[in-house]
Each structure stands twice: as C-alpha cells, then as structure tokens.
Structure 1
Amino acid sequence: MSTVAYDSGAVLGRHLRRIRHAPGVVLLTQTMPITMLLFFGYVFGSALAMPGTEYRAYLVPGLLASTAAGGIMTGMFQASHDAQRGIMDRFRTMPMSRAAVPLGQTLADLITTAVGLIPLLLVGLAVGWRIEGGALDALGAIGLLMIFRFAANWVGTYLGLLVANEEAAGQLGAATFILPLLSNAYIPTEGMTGWLRTVAEWNPISAVSMGVRALFGNAAPAADAAWPVAHPVAGSVLWSLLLLVLFVPLAVRRYATGAK
C-alpha cells in the first residue's frame, strides 16, 4: 500500500471518529438544507410562477448544488480548527505524506456529505419533487454533486490553512453563503439584469445546479445561457477539475510549509 493511501486512511479514520464523538455540528450542517427546502418551498413556492416547472422541482437540485458548495465552509472550519490548535504542527512532525492530511480531511467530508444527501433527497420526494430521468442519469447527478463537493472542500481547506484562525474562518465562511444566491440555485437567471445574469451563469454553482436538474430530468438547459449553463454537465466537470488543479497543490503546499 502506498504511503499516501495508508496515511490518508489514518487521517480519514481520525476525522470520522471525531464526527462520531461530536455529531452536533454534522447534524446542524445536514439539517440546514432541509430547513431551507421547507422554507423556500412553502414560503416562496406559491409566489414564484415558473412556466412548465413546479418550483420545488426546480429548488431541490439547486439546494443539492448549494450543499455541495458548502464544502468550502466545512473545509475552512476543519482546517482552521486543526491549524489554530496546533494539530497540524504535530502532524508535520510525523513521518507521513504531506498530502495525506488534507486528503484525509476532504475524503471524510465527502463520506459525511454522501450520507447527508439521503435525508435531503427523501424530504424532497416527500414535498413533491420527483426524479424524472433514468437511474443511470440520477446516479450521474449524485456523482456530479460529489466531485463538486470534493473540489469545494479543497478550496475551503486551503483557505482554512491560510487564515489558521477559527474566528476568521467563521466570518469568511459566513460570507460564502452569498455564493448560491448569485447563481440559479434558487431562481432562474433569465429575469436578471445583463451583468448580473452573466455573473450568475459563470458561477460554478449555476452549472452544477443545472447539470443536476438536467440529469434528474427536472429541467432542460437554456440555449441562450452562458456556456457552462448551456452545457451544464460538461461545465460542472470542468469547473470541478479546474478547482482541483488549482487548490489541491495550494492546500498541500500550505500544509507542508506551515506558513503563518
């Protein structure tokens, strides 16, 4: 077994054990999308008229994409927590791969996210959302969410190591809440003004939201949208790969050097 795989597995186990002993944080992050689904679906659902589409059918994929983007926030919290408390410094003194610690953290987040999607999907079905496409396409939608969550968590891990302070990470993490609002996760971009629509459609969350909708059979991409939204599956994959190419080496280097 390679050193990276073995060491990452050890770090992964540590994070999963920590989650088991502190389930409150996970419970809060997993119930938030369900709360938003019920709030947006029932409070705004009757007020938003969307020709040919029931609003909850539009909303659920958007919330799934927003949950995947939430990897930025959780990555920041976890990395800054370990950095501020000196845990990262102790890891650096051990004879282990420098890539293992951030990789183990992001893999643990991926597992907990996959488990956390189940209740959100079930609540979505309970409020009237349906999977209109085939089983393989539905699995593709879940895969799209997982790869984007993985990429987003690497972004958060780098930022958490960069600030190395839980309070600063909390403030920065709260600011990421606006990202889904500047996308098509909750409302279509067609009614936005020109510059705002451009910003929203080049937001990676918009491509993921539309990709999930298309694979679940809930909506078809608009032909006049920006390229990532007009070709949402390819756009989502490319955005995810771009984020991974940029932030995996940045996070590993930041962890390895321990720069303050």
Structure 2
Amino acid sequence: MSTSWGWAAGDSWTMTRRELAHWARQPVRIVVGLVFPVMLLVMFGYLIGGGKGVEGDYVDFLVPGMLALTMAFGLESTMLAVTQDLNKGVIDRFRSMPMVDGAVLVGRSVADMLQSAAALAVMAGVGYALGWRAHGSLGALAGAFGLLLLLRFAMLWIGIWLAMVAGKPELVQAVQILVWPVGFLSNAFTVPATMPDWLGAVVEWNPMSATASSVRHLFGNPGGADEVWLAVVWPVGLLAVFFPLAVRRFAALSR
C-alpha cells in the first residue's frame, strides 16, 4: 500500500513540475490571472463603491469577500489545460508510461493551488495597501486562508469535471460563464439583508457565502459569522461528489 502511495505521489509531482514549467513559457497568463482580481477589488472598492447595510468600514467587509470570490474565478486555465491534453493525444502518451491513473489531474490541481496561494498573497497585500486590516490571531488568520484554499480546491475539481464533460477547449469558455452567477450571487459585496427575501435566501445558501462570512469572522472584520463548520462542510461535500466523478471521467476518456 505504501509503495502504491509512493508511486502515486511521485507521478503526481512529476506532472506538477510539468505544469510549473509551462508557467515560464506563459508568464502573461499568470500575470493576468493575478491582476484581474486586483482590478475587481479596486473597482468595487473605489469606482463602484457599496456597503449598503454594512456596519463598519466597507473595505474591511469587501476584502474578505473578494478573497473568496478570487477562489471561484480563474478556473479556465486549468480547464483548458485538461481539455487540450485530452484532445492533443498527450494523455495517450502518458498512458503508455508506467504512471498512476489520475496523476495528470492531480499535478494540474497542485499547480493551480500554488497559483491560487500566490493570488491570495497578492490580494491580501493590495487589500492591506487599501486600508484593510485583519484583527484576529495568527491561528485565526491561518484558518481563514485555509478555508479559502479549501473552497478553491473544491471549485477546481468541479471545473476539471466540467472541462472533461465539455470535451473541447472552445466549449470551456461557455462553461466558465457558469461560475459568474455563483460568484456574484453571494455576500461578497453586500449583506443579504439588503436584498429581496428570495434573493437573500439564494445568497445565504451559496457555499461561497459561508466561506466569506467565516473568513470575515476569523479576520475580525464586519459582516462575519461563526460558520466555520459550514465553510468546511460545503467544500468537503462538493469534493466528495466531484473528485471521484472527475477521476472516473478521466479514466473513461483516456482508455
């Protein structure tokens, strides 16, 4: 058993290094992925404004919501990479090697998580420059970023599964549009109490809202709620469904 896990980890790390090598050849894509959420933060914080119903400083409310929103966006690069590998015969070449099934997907997901961690660091730095402050302990700070990355991991495997269902790179853009309603129908920008009752109920049940509220709570920012358990249950539940679906779909497509 330990030998099998060792092979799986080794193969996955090989695929992760493959994805990281692509970063050096495509620096513009990485930079755009980091800059886009910063533009959203500045736009909502200064150009559009907001804060209706928010008690306290709006920037302190907005930044945690934007951190959660960032974890839902930017999936298209991973989705495109998966579909391109499937359509260009790369997977067939990998299957001819003594490699564990699914290592390609795991390697791709690890690379995405590294980029997501970098995006969080950039966003937190920009938020700090705009006046946002976290008032919780170091443990609470670590827990907040852990919840954000857990949400990203769940969203990532949903994206990987959707990419393989779409099958072709040109269809990924259409599938990616589905992420926007999930992101904006949340409490990232304002509190549900200011919305119509039916819309507020939808927002309250959005998994991203649970993460945003919990992160605000751990940061000690306005609009927070002690819903850490819900911010864990939602992503874990989504992973329990979509991780095996993605691995099974990959195995079926690469036969």
- State if a TM-score over 0.5 links the two structures: yes
- Which of 9, 19, 33 aligns to 1:29? It is 33
Tell me what 1:126 maps to: 129
- Indicate the percent of aligned positions where both proteins have the same amino acid: 37
Deviation track 1:187-245 (CA, whole Å, cap 9, x = no partner) reads 11111112211111111110111111111110354xxxxxxxx5421111111111111
Letter in 2 for 1:244: L
SS of aligned partner of 2:99:
coil
Q: Distance in 1 between matches of 2:157 and 2:210?
A: 19
Q: How many Å separate the matches in 1 of 2:235 and 2:102?
A: 19
Matched residue of 1:117: which SS?
A: helix
1:216 is the counterpart of 2:219: yes
| 1:114, distance to aligned residue in structure 2 (A) | 0.8
Distance 1:102 1:74 in 2: 13
Instruction: Give structure 1 regions of 4+ aligned residues with deviation exceeding 6 angstroms.
Output: none
Look up the equivalent residue of 1:31 and give its one-letter code.
Answer: V
Structure 1 gap segments, 5+ residues each: 222-229
Give the Å deviation of 1:52: 2.6
Structure 2 matches for 1:86-235, cutoff 5 A? 86-221=89-224, 231-235=226-230
> 1:174, CA displacement in angstroms?
2.6
Residue 7 of structure 1 contacts residue 97 of structure 1 at CA under 8 Å; is this kept in 2? yes
Give the aligned partner of residue 238 of structure 1.
Answer: 233
Code of the residue aligned with 2:217 in structure 1: it is: A
- Give the secondary-structure state (helix, strand or coil) at the position aligned to 1:190: helix
Alignment partner for residue 22 of structure 2, among 12, 15, 18?
A: 18
Instruction: State the alpha-carbon separation in 1 of the partners of residues 154 and 208 from structure 2.
Output: 12
Q: What is the number of residues matched between the two proteins?
A: 251
For 2:32, give the aligned amino acid.
L
Partner of residue 248, structure 1: 243
RMSD: 1.8
Contact 1:78 1:157 (C-alpha < 8 Å) held by counterparts? no
Q: Distance in 2 between matches of 1:97 and 1:166?
A: 25
What are the within-5 Å matches in structure 2 for residues 79-90 of structure 1?
79-90=82-93
Deviations 1:27-82 (A, max 9, x none): 1111111001111000122x534453211111111111011112643432221222
Q: Deviation at 1:150?
A: 1.1
- Residue 189 of structure 1 aligns with an amino acid whose one-letter code is P
Following the alignment from structure 2 to structure 1, what is the Cα–Cα distance between the partners of residues 94 and 218?
41
Residue in 2 that maps onto 1:56: 59
- Deviation string, structure 1 residues 172-195 (Cα, Å, up to 9, x no partner): 113312211101011111111122
TM-score by length of 1: 0.90
Q: What residue number does 2:81 align with?
A: 78
Shift, 1:22, TM fit = 0.7
Distance 1:157 1:121 in 2: 27
**In structure 2, how many angstroms separate the alpha carbons of the residues matched to 1:48 and 1:241?**
31
Could you tell me the TM-score, scaled by structure 2's length?
A: 0.92
- Matched to 2:253, the amino acid is G
Question: Could you tell me which of 5, 8, 32 is aligned with 2:9?
Answer: 5
Distance 1:35-1:220 versus aligned 2 partners, 3 A rule: closer
Q: Structure 2 vs 1, CA of residues 185 and 115 (structure 1 numbering), >3 Å: closer, same or farther? A: same
Distance change in 2, residues 1:208/1:126 (3 Å) = same
The residue identity in structure 2 corresponding to 1:48 is G
Q: State whether residues 144 and 214 of structure 2, in contact with CA within 8 Å, keep that contact through their aligned partners in structure 1.
A: yes
**Aligned partner letter, 1:178:** P
More deviation in 100-109 or 68-77? Answer: 68-77
